Amino acid sequence: MAMASFTFSLSCFLVLLSFFVFADAAGIIGINYGRVANDLPTPDKVVELLKSQGINRIKLYDTDSTVLTALANSGISVVVALPNELLASTATDQSFADKWVQANISQYYPKTQIEAIAVGNEVFVDPKNTTKFLVPAMKNVYNSLVKLNLSSIKISSPIALSALQNSYPSSAGSFKPELIEPVMKPMLEFLRQSNSYLMINAYPFFAYSANSKEISLDYTLFKENPGVVDSGNGLKYYSLLEAQLDAVFAAMSAIQYSDIKMVVTETGWPSLGDENEIGASEENAASYNGNLVNRVLTGNGTPLRPQDPLNVYLFALFNENQKPGPTSERNYGLFYPNEQKVYNIPLTLKELENRQSTPVNGNKSEVPVNGTSGEVSKTSVGQTWCVASGNVGTDKLQDAIDYACGEGGADCRPIQPGATCYNPNTLEAHASYAFNSYYQKKARGAGTCDFGGAAYVVTQPPSK
């Protein structure tokens, strides 16, 4: 096979991909339903909106009766919350916890599909210093659920990334020392014993806005980028969010809780901000949230935990006009209060597979997930491919092909003479097919597209 510049049949890649794409352990997408506003639709209207958009998971910040009643028999799973101001009473009085669970959980369950209870929210940064009450409150709420035979409802508490002492590189992730013994170890032990998961609120927007000269916008928005190699473990990251999450995983591993699962209970990007809020724009919000939905619904886990699907709750359902703080705080919504989309992104796997052409600036074209116009292949949405590098020499490429097609178990029959993907007959093209076959077979796991530096990951389909 003679060496040539890289060209390859896109159809061969897409046919190969179709055998793997929907076999992956895809994650779930939910949305936070905040209500700090005076112009939102009624809960009944909101449930109709959620159903019309195919959204079947939401997260609340309380246990509002009208909302929980509206959600009854809707088929929508909900995470509810016990607010920070009730932590002290819940922690110090089991009977208070019992009454709260009876009034706010058992009264609505199971007609309303309460999936989990968030006990407090970002408690470590609560100015009222309620951290010492967190784990006792979680345990008392759990005890109340057990009494009522409702222990299938998960108990957790969302923590912010500010709980980390170190987050870069990801492999050096660690919790703040003052949190480890008093609260992190007891909380993680409780999550382990109750078979629950850690809730994380993570916002790459904040990191980018504060460090836009050092952090690539494409890296932050899940767009095509060269990636960042973790100097500690050698893993390569193509998105800031995944690097942040792996820093939390590393922090848990450092204190011997590597078995705890994780759910991202808040992440998002503002469509509008103040002048000093760098990166806040409708285009960037569409890119971040749209590409993240793609990543979650069609991908695997993070580089450190590739087999654990990403489960994410976007923030937020609506723009909330009464939220205090900078302009961005009131502009995280996917929808305006009039129920119109702030920008057009897919929210379900069905949308990713079957997006219909819609008018854009008067023309009939697809609105891709990265917020720009142009056609998007239904098969290729949200995927990654492994392709050969043309700079490593023929010997290295041939050795890598021999491994992929031999011990690696890649299906290399289509690149044999006379087979469907034999042409173009170049070493680089054949290597790309073999590498991608191996990569997809390994569920696009971290480190499965390297071959000693002979391959790299791309986020756009290889050109013909």
Q: CA Rg, the chain, in Å?
A: 24
122 is annotated as an active-site residue: yes
Q: Whole-angstrom Cα distance, residue 103 to residue 68?
A: 12
Q: What one-character DSSP code corresponds to residue 406?
A: T
Given 48, 85, 115, 122, which residue is catalytic? Answer: 122
Using the structure block, give the residue that is written with the tokens 């654990």: 308
Facing residues of 80 across strands? 117
Q: Where are the alpha helices (DSSP H) in 201-346?
A: 204-210, 217-220, 240-254, 282-298
224 is annotated as an active-site residue: no
In terms of residues, how long is the chain?
Answer: 464
In the numeric block, which tokens belong to residue 292? 């993240």
Which amino acid, residue 145? L
Q: For 266, phi and psi rounded to 5 degrees?
A: -150, 130
349 Cβ contact list (under 8 Å, min separation 6): 26, 297, 298
Q: Whole-angstrom Cα distance, residue 344 to residue 361?
A: 13
Q: Whole-angstrom Cα distance, residue 71 to residue 464?
A: 49
Question: Burial of 249 by CB count in 10 Å (0-12 exposed, 13-18 middle, 19+ buried)?
Answer: buried
Given 85, 189, 224, 266, which residue is catalytic? Answer: 266
Question: Burial of 375 by CB count in 10 Å (0-12 exposed, 13-18 middle, 19+ buried)?
Answer: exposed
169-187 burial code (b ≥16 CB/10 A, e <16)? bbbbbbbeeebbeebbbbb
Catalogue the active-site residues. 122, 266
